[in-house]
A and B are shown apart, each in its own frame.
Chain A
Amino acid sequence: METAVKANVLIDARGSFCPGPLMELIRGIRQAALGETIEVWSTDQGSRKDIPFWVQKAGHELIGMFEGPDYARFVVRKRR
């Protein structure tokens, strides 16, 4: 589960059912500066679909999605 990317902001959303990892990522993106990266940790199966879909729809960049045994990590760059 190593990535070459060191994100500017790390959000540990493991175990977050409400508001949930996507909402935590949106919070992170809203607070970030253009070009910054946000890493979100999620145990929610739905994130694997939701997060890449939203990132693309909102015009940001999914740098990587890293699957681990217990949780997945998503690294996103704010593009707009």
Chain B
Amino acid sequence: MKNVVVLGGGVGGTIVANLLARRLRREEAQVTLVDRDGKHVYQPAFLYVAFGGMDPRKVARDERRLLHRDVRLVLGEAERIDAERKEVHLADGRALAYDRLVIALGARLAPEELPGMEKAALHFYSLPAAMRMHDALERFPGGRIVVTVAGVPYKCPPAPAESACQLDYFFRRRGIRDRVDIHFLSPISRVFPLESVNPVVERLFAEHGIRSTVFFNVESIDPEAKTVNSLEGETIPYDLLVMVPPHRGAKVVEASGLGDRGGWLPVDRHTLRVKGHDDMLGLGDCTDLPVSKSGSAAHFQARVVADAILADLRGEAPATRYDGKVMCYFDAGYHKAMAMSFDYEHPPETPRLGLKAWIAKHLLNRAYWALVPTARV
């Protein structure tokens, strides 16, 4: 019997494991999923926690309950991948042999890469940080809020601009919007990464009095002076700093010599096989794919990875290729949102901002648990 080992119980790893368990006969292969703590986290909820729109207790569920009964769940931290011997070594000394390895470990927050960041900045990229941000926003008496990213790449490229809109909406509801100056700093030439969507976001910023500066790539923070400095040579003051922390690839990928300089796993953009290792496949935020680091990308990639493994185990040619598909939402507040979808060949069309997409986004927030990790959609 063959062994398929999946590292990571996030959206990508969970869907791959469930699809395989559903489609493989029991005597064909054992599917094992390794997860650090057995908790599956719905990360898009963090933004809502930061702005008080979601109960922090509702963002995570037991991974075991989301997995097909034939998937073996191993709790532990993968410490080293031995590509020669085809084994994964866990921190507690256990070793797992694999015929096919799936690496779906996500991105790692690395605030230590920007000195001063941990103390000076708020963010919504982990549950504790989102809860701290919510407290700080509730207490904020007014002043200048700077919203930016510490570096690239980072998860969910629209999220910083989305958070600027949410700040406007939050302080409008708190009744102190006139005392809050929101200043958005973008690392690239426009406020929104997607060119065809940028005019919509620029219009939103103009309507809601959100200022912006482009080509601002953070080089350092001066927590004493309360300024943020760019590598392009500008300095901007803040009273409250909202900054997406630096990201790196997965630790075990780096420790095993499989990552690039940022620790990102190099995978083929269509087959999702790890370059130079045909028996390993990578998906989601931990890879170097030139697509958004987002659950939706991992979701679409998971089907390709599961198809490839099934074909490998059965000696067939894989039937599907990843086409770069990503789908995402932007919640602008005021019960308005927009949905965007694109792939390697097709840029997104300019979306309509309105109630329909807002309802769809909020339905997804609720329906996620029943539909997505379980691979029903």
Contacts and interface: CB of A to CB of B under 8 A. Distances in A.
A47 B188 CA distance: 11
Interface string B195-229: 10000000000000000000101000000000000
Given A23-B153, A24-B290, A30-B151, A15 B232 contact: no
A26 B290 contact: no
A15 B188 CA distance: 17
Contacts of B215: 53-54, 57-58
B195 A46 contact: yes
A23 to B, nearest CB: 5
B342 interface: yes
A18 interface: yes
Nearest to A15: B344
Given A15-B344, A26-B152, A20 B188 contact: yes
B10 interface: no
A39 B338 CA distance: 34
Q: Which of B194, B233, B261, B324 has the most CB of A within 10 A?
A: B261
B117 to A, nearest CB: 15
Given A17-B195, A20-B193, A27 B231 contact: no
A54 B152 CA distance: 15
B336 to A, nearest CB: 20
Contact of A19 (B189, B193, B342, B347): B193
Interface of A: 9, 11-24, 26-27, 30-32, 44, 46, 49-50, 53-54, 57-59, 80
11 contacts: A9-B261, A15-B345, A17-B194, A17-B195, A18-B157, A18-B193, A19-B292, A23-B157, A27-B153, A31-B260, A31-B261
Contacts of B290: 11-16, 19, 21, 24
Contact of B342 (A12, A17, A22, A58): A17
Interface of B (DSSP majority class): loop
Interface of B: 151-153, 157-158, 187-189, 193-195, 215, 217, 231-233, 260-262, 269, 290-292, 324, 326, 342-345, 347-348
B113 to A, nearest CB: 10
B195 A26 contact: no
B212 to A, nearest CB: 16
A54 B195 contact: no
A19 B194 CA distance: 7
Contact of B152 (A12, A30, A50): A30
Contacts of B348: 17
A45 B344 CA distance: 14
B60 to A, nearest CB: 27
Given A12-B269, A26-B152, A26-B217, A18 B292 contact: yes
Contact of B187 (A18, A23, A32): A23
Contacts of A19: 152-153, 157, 193, 290, 292
Contacts of B157: 18-19, 23
Contact of A50 (B189, B326, B345): B189
A20 to B, nearest CB: 5
